[in-house]
Structure 1
Amino acid sequence: MLQSVGLAAAVVPSVALAASWDVTQASSNLGVFALSDAELAERRINVTPIGELELPTGEIIACDPLISGTEMPTLSRRVKPGHYPVSLLETQGRVAVAVLRFRLGTPVRWELATLPGQDVTTLKDDEIFGYPVDGGLGSFMDKTAMVLMSEQLDKLGADQNYYDDVLAAEFTPNQDRFVMHRPVAGNPLNIAMFWSGWGDGFYPSFWGLDAAGELLLLTTDFGVLEDADGREKK
């Protein structure tokens, strides 16, 4: 069993890690990005583009958007400010992997996404860093978007909640699977929100890099795929 470390302590099912901690052992699904369209189809994995994410500061938060707030730290790595496409890998009627793509290419090296103060060299063989999900959702956002959403949360009445009173109507057209949510109408700042696999849990994110060390993508694995395959095991 793989232990989670950091924002929350929980246990999530995964593969056993080798004696020397290896990021590729933390997920058996990183190879999915090397598959062709035909191979994805054979493995019953559908790719769903959901829109472009605005990152005016390049400081990214990956989290359950319903249990986090303005105190949520950004990931240690920053990207060039801009707007970048988000897509979902779906299988078995679930969102299996969320992908924030910075440039084209197939990653040849992977890093576990960490927060400031987290050091992968301190991880034990069966531990990971990641984020806890308690509301069934994951997300990517710029830190400034979190501030906007927190301000909107503060405006809700005592008998209201953000999902039921704000998000539900936006999720409905997409079968409740995802939304590119704008906390403030007319403001381009948005948040990519999506189902978190089978629901609540603790999920790791990874940076994919090319041979020159340039960032290609950020991805969160929700543990639906196994060995980059969406077909149910017999």
Structure 2
Amino acid sequence: MRRWFRPGLVGLGILSALPQVALAADWDANKVSSNLGVFALSDAELAERKITVTPIGELELPTGQIIACDPLTTGTDWPALSRTIKPGHYPVSLLEAQGRVAAAILRFRPGKPVRWELATVPGQDVSTLKDDEMFGYPVDAGLGSFMDKTAMALMSEQQDKLKAEQNYYDDVLAAEFAPNQDRFVLHHPVAGNPLNIAMFWSGWGDGFYPSFWGLDAAGEPLLLMTDFGVLENADGRESK
């Protein structure tokens, strides 16, 4: 059972799997995610690799300032990503494999990315990373999310209204997750308010996960993707 708590602002630093001596200029998104090529696959190729695409609805982004985080263990001080997009509403879909949410995708425009950029928050500099290091967000409640910056404050207000013996997952979210086998929900913190939050399982659960901007030839974002580490080499089949 997931429990809600709100620690201080943590996990905005670097995650490194092994010590490396590579120069910062050598950093490449493909070295921390082998799955960026999944967007070049046809429907038949996705099916062959046992990857399912699940649309979950449209996310409202009235400011275009996007927060990607564990929605239940971060507070209103969690920063929005440095890149902003045009305000509007955009479709969210999940890549699922091995019975897990393998990646979450927020799509702004159609097209295949030609370049990838690690999603960062203010104060993070990709040029300081060694080739196995990455920026991302920590997950402690088994969930990831996309939301507008204003949605975080709205949900925090609703959390503060709960009684001492209540928590946001069990007493608010659980009933909304249930129809989707607890895999995802487009949550409205306030009924009747269009502002919503896309929440979804985070792959194998708690961990540290990077997000990437998929860019077109002009450097404009086509999509934002969080990789939960279920796929390997854009393949959802279990290793033998």
Same fold by TM (over 0.5)? yes
Given that 2:14 and 2:133 are in contact with CA atoms closer than 8 Å, whether structure 1 keeps it comes out as no
Question: Does residue 1:78 correspond to 2:84, yes or no?
Answer: yes
Given that 2:14 and 2:134 are in contact with CA atoms closer than 8 Å, whether structure 1 keeps it comes out as no
Equivalent of 1:189 in 171, 174, 195: 195
> Structure 1 length normalisation: TM-score?
0.94
Q: Structure 2 counterpart of 1:49, which letter?
A: P
What is residue 224 of structure 1 aligned with on the other side? 230
SS at match of 1:85: strand
Question: Does residue 1:214 correspond to 2:220, yes or no?
Answer: yes
SS at match of 1:38: helix
What is residue 117 of structure 1 aligned with on the other side? 123
Query: What percent of counterpart residues are identical?
Result: 81
Given that 2:54 and 2:93 are in contact with CA atoms closer than 8 Å, whether structure 1 keeps it comes out as yes
Q: Distance in 1 between matches of 2:80 and 2:115?
A: 22
> Structure 2 length normalisation: TM-score?
0.91
Q: Distance in 2 between matches of 1:167 and 1:10?
A: 30
What is residue 32 of structure 1 aligned with on the other side? 38
Question: Does residue 1:141 correspond to 2:180, yes or no?
Answer: no
Given that 1:139 and 1:193 are in contact with CA atoms closer than 8 Å, whether structure 2 keeps it comes out as yes
SS at match of 1:28: coil
What is residue 7 of structure 1 aligned with on the other side? 12
Q: Distance in 2 between matches of 1:125 and 1:88?
A: 27
Q: Which moved more, 1:122-131 or 1:162-171?
A: 122-131
- Shift of the 124–12 alpha-carbon distance from structure 1 to 2, 3 Å rule, reads closer
What is residue 54 of structure 2 aligned with on the other side? 48
Q: Distance in 1 between matches of 2:163 and 2:43?
A: 47
Q: Distance in 2 between matches of 1:126 and 1:12?
A: 7
Q: Distance in 1 between matches of 2:159 and 2:17?
A: 30
Shift of 1:7: 1.8
Given that 2:14 and 2:135 are in contact with CA atoms closer than 8 Å, whether structure 1 keeps it comes out as no
Equivalent of 2:177 in 146, 171, 188: 171
Given that 2:103 and 2:228 are in contact with CA atoms closer than 8 Å, whether structure 1 keeps it comes out as yes
Would you identify which runs of 4 or more consecutive aligned residues in structure 1 move more than 3 Å?
A: 8-13, 16-19
Q: Distance in 2 between matches of 1:12 and 1:159?
A: 38
Count of residue correspondences: 228
SS at match of 1:141: strand
Q: Distance in 1 between matches of 2:37 and 2:222?
A: 14
> Gaps spanning 5+ residues in structure 1: where?
none
Q: Distance in 1 between matches of 2:230 and 2:200?
A: 14
Q: Structure 1 counterpart of 2:237, which letter?
A: R
Q: Distance in 2 between matches of 1:29 and 1:18?
A: 22
Q: Distance in 1 between matches of 2:21 and 2:165?
A: 45
> Gaps spanning 5+ residues in structure 2: where?
1-9
Q: Structure 2 counterpart of 1:7, which letter?
A: L
